[in-house]
Amino acid sequence: MVAMGNLQQKAKELFKFKCLTPKEMFYLITFTLLSLLLPLSFLLLAKFSDAQYYLQTLAWYHSPQHFPYVLTLALHINPLILYVLVSIISMASLIHGLTGKIIILSDSLSSSSTFLQPRILTAWIVLCTFQVCVGLGIEGSIEAGLYDSNDESMSFKFGVERILLSRVVFLLGLHETMQVWARMVVRPVVDDTVFGVAAREEKWVERVVVAASLGALWWWRLREDVESLVVMVEAKTEQLMDVRVSDFVGWWLYYLTLTIGIVRVLRGLMWMVTVCLCRRRRRRATGVSTVVEHCQIDDKV
């Protein structure tokens, strides 16, 4: 009966999705686009790693040729800021996966002075920093031709390709990290801006739309390009080239996200085992109670 009630409630929410108001639709689109800033940051860091490798290996890197200002800014400043911010979000996601706790950048005070709250202000600063870095990074990488259709992924150029299981686990870790990013930073800001409250109830439709958007981005470009973060260090080590700090941080972020995915898989397996054990205990308890009732009836007879 409880399961049927939950299914009916989800069905009602599904029908409500078709009747979203323009305000709710704007909220859903804004929340989804801002949540995708994190996987876009991984894509940009991978492209920056490719560009720095080419600049380090090609002869014209040492020539006095002047590069566009946007490209220079994107290659030297954006990666540093993005590496720091993405590392913080990834570590928070790993802590959340291990402990189940997450820090929400919103206060439980009244919504009248929400904008002046320190946590909301911090979320605004972090979100704006992400937007500026990703915007400049996309503009600089497009101007440099890093997204040309003839450009191949570095993982295939070096003859290195990750197995399917590794890609799936990394995608799970990236999805978990994006969820933490959305709950910590994006949701408090969008809730405060659109609805005027610091925190509102999360709907399952929002999770589905965000997950579908991540899947589309992953299938379109991210699944192959992001592997440059880990392949670049291996390629430079084999070619006896200098491994920079940014290369090591990208390698560390890749395996950190992979670890987050492994933790999520293990938690899912533990949840399944716990559910199976609870069902067995209930069945045994039901069987014992039935036997006791039959014995009591026989005694009365």
Residue 169 confidence (pLDDT): 92
Three state DSSP letters for the chain: CHHHHHHHHHHHHHHHHCCCCHHHHHHHHHHHHHHCHHHHHHHHHHHHHHHHHHHHHCHHHCCCCCCCHHHHHHHHCHHHHHHHHHHHHHHHHHHHHHHCCCCCCCCCCCHHHHHHCHHHHHHHHHHHHHHHHHHHHHHHHHHCCCCCCCCCCHHHHCCCCCCHHHHHHHHHHHHHHHHHHHHHHHHHHHHHHHHCCCCCCCCHHHHHHHHHHHHHHHHHHHHHHCCHHHHHHHHHHHCCCCCCHHHHHHHHHHHHHHHHHHHHHHHHHHHHHHHHHHHHHHHHHHHHHHHHHHHHHHHHC
Q: Average pLDDT of 286-296? A: 50
Going by pLDDT thresholds of 50, 70 and 90, the confidence category of residue 238 is: confident
Q: In whole angstroms, how far apart are CA 6 and each of 202, 208, 219, 235, 272?
A: 16, 17, 32, 52, 19
Whole-number Å distance between alpha carbons of 25 and 255: 36
CA–CA separation, 79 and 77 (whole Å): 6
In this predicted structure, the answer to whether residue 288 has a pLDDT above a threshold of 70 is no
Q: How confident is the model at residue 114 (pLDDT cuts 50, 70, 90)?
A: very low
Model confidence pLDDT, tens digit, residues 115-132: 447 788 888 899 999 988
- Please determine, for residue 2, whether its predicted confidence score (pLDDT) is greater than 50: no
- What count of Cα atoms within 13 Å lies in the side-chain half-sphere of residue 149? 0
What letter represents residue 252's amino acid? W
CB within 8 A of 34, min separation 6: which ones? Answer: 127, 131, 182, 186, 189, 190
The 10 Å CB-count burial string (b at 16+, else e) for 114-132 is: beebebbeebbebbeebee
Report the pLDDT value the prediction gives residue 32, as an integer from 0 to 100. 92
CA distance 139 to 70: 7
Q: How does residue 3 score in pLDDT terms, banded at 50, 70 and 90? A: very low
Whether 168 shows a pLDDT value over 80: the answer reads yes
If you average pLDDT over residues 225-244, what whole number do you get? 78
Residue extents of the structural domains in the chain: 20-268
Please tell me which residue, 102 or 133, carries the higher pLDDT value. 133
pLDDT at 86 over 90: yes
Confidence of residue 298 (pLDDT cuts 50, 70, 90): very low
Q: Provide the pLDDT for residue 54.
A: 72
Confidence of residue 10 (pLDDT cuts 50, 70, 90): low
Measured CA to CA, the distance from residue 74 to residue 78 in angstroms comes to: 5
**Whole-angstrom distance, CA of residue 53 vs CA of residue 232:** 8
Of residues 90 and 54, the one with the higher pLDDT is 90
- State the pTM of this model: 0.79
Count of C-beta atoms within a 10 Å radius of residue 2: 6
The sign of the CA dihedral 52, 56, 61, 62 is positive
8 Å CB contact between 213 and 36: yes
pLDDT at position 166? 87
Neighbours of 52 (CB within 10 A): 18
Q: Is the pLDDT at 112 greater than 80, yes or no?
A: no
When pLDDT is cut at 50, 70 and 90, the band that residue 204 belongs to is confident
Stretch 186-190: mean pLDDT, rounded? Answer: 89
pLDDT at 88: 92
Most confidently predicted of 19-23, 184-188, 227-231: 184-188
